[in-house]
Amino acid sequence: MQGISIRGVSQAFGAAGDARRVVALEDATLDIPAGELVCLIGPSGCGKSSLLDIIAGLAKPVAGSVTIDGEPVRGPLPKRVGFVFQENALFPWLSVYDNIVAGLTFQGVPKDERRGRADEALAAVGLEAFRNHYPRQLSGGMKQRAQLARALSLQTEILLMDEPFAALDEQTRLVLGEDLSVQLAKTRKTIVFVTHSLVEAVFLADRIAVFTARPGRIKTILTVDEPHPRAPGFMTSAKLTGLRNALYELLHDEVRRAMETGAGV
């Protein structure tokens, strides 16, 4: 499979010619081969989440195009693209198990397949014992694992993740990052992951797309040459520290510029 091809994508909000028009993303070009995990990182307001929405077919760019395996993205692709949001998107009136089944129902999965796929997804994230719990009974990390299980159950070839661990404490997000690395090694899904965490980006990504301050442009691509699944020891390695420092140097001036212009506030 060819994967995702992003060509000259720009996104803006507001009418052309309006002084209040905001250009969030400008001329983004990036190829993401099938089976790769790419992190998008940059100052707030640089268009990272906008690019995810465009890849998912949830928004149309003002310029440029996105293709998946050579086919243009013209709208949502629920059978091919899954989405994990930063906010808790679980239905509070449904159990963890029923939340997963609801996603499968919306996707059109035959009824006789839903239980098996839900059970497999729960096992993948270690939530079998909490299948009958409701979201209000779960910790923040468990809610995010439930959202990940729902996305995994859909068995889409592409998974888009918009800061899914941002609201969690550092220890929990790093452990969930280990789990995600294991899933990538098992399933070889194509994953596009938005984060503001330098360490998270280096620990998870095969490549990191570093964005400038708004209007967001891809400043450079940083390669992380480390196989999946990533071992816990990689977190404390000199290799990770060196890559994290390089990423900091690439981002420092962009974050400062975003703060000075108000774009990153």
Instruction: Locate the domains of the chain by residue range.
Output: 1-80+167-265, 87-155
Work out the widest C-alpha separation in the chain, in whole angstroms. 56
pTM over cut 0.75: yes
How far, in Å, CA of 52 to CA of 73, rounded?
A: 12
Q: What does the pLDDT look like over 235-245, one tens digit per residue?
A: 999 999 999 99
b (16+ CB within 10 A) / e for 164-188: bbeebeeebbbebbbebbebbeeee
Nearest to 100 by CA among 121, 84, 124: 121
In angstroms, what CA-CA distances link 150 with 121, 145, 171?
A: 7, 9, 23
Instruction: Give the end-to-end CA distance of the chain in Å, rounded to a whole number.
Output: 39
Cβ atoms of 214 and 47 within 8 Å: the answer is: yes
Residue 172 pLDDT class (50, 70, 90 cuts):
confident
Spatial CB neighbours of 77, under 8 Å, sequence gap ≥ 6: 56, 57, 68
Most confident of the following: 49-63, 81-95, 147-161 = 49-63
Which pLDDT value is given to residue 1? 53
What pLDDT does residue 263 have?
A: 60
User: Region 39-61: what's the mean pLDDT?
Assistant: 94
Q: Is residue 265 over pLDDT 50?
A: no
Residue 27 pLDDT > 60, yes or no?
Answer: yes
* DSSP code at position 135: G
Where residue 47 falls among pLDDT bands split at 50, 70, 90?
A: very high
**Structure-model confidence comparison of residues 29 and 265, the more confident one:** 29
For 202-238, the pLDDT digits (tens) are: 999 999 999 999 999 999 999 999 999 998 899 999 9
Q: Supply the pLDDT for residue 190.
A: 94
Residue whose entry in the numeric block shows the structure tokens 């070839």: 157
Is the bond into 229 cis (omega within 30 degrees of 0)? yes
State mean pLDDT over 63-83: 93
Q: Provide the pLDDT confidence category of residue 264 given band limits of 50, 70 and 90.
A: low
**Does domain 1-80+167-265 fall into CATH 3.40.50.300?**
yes
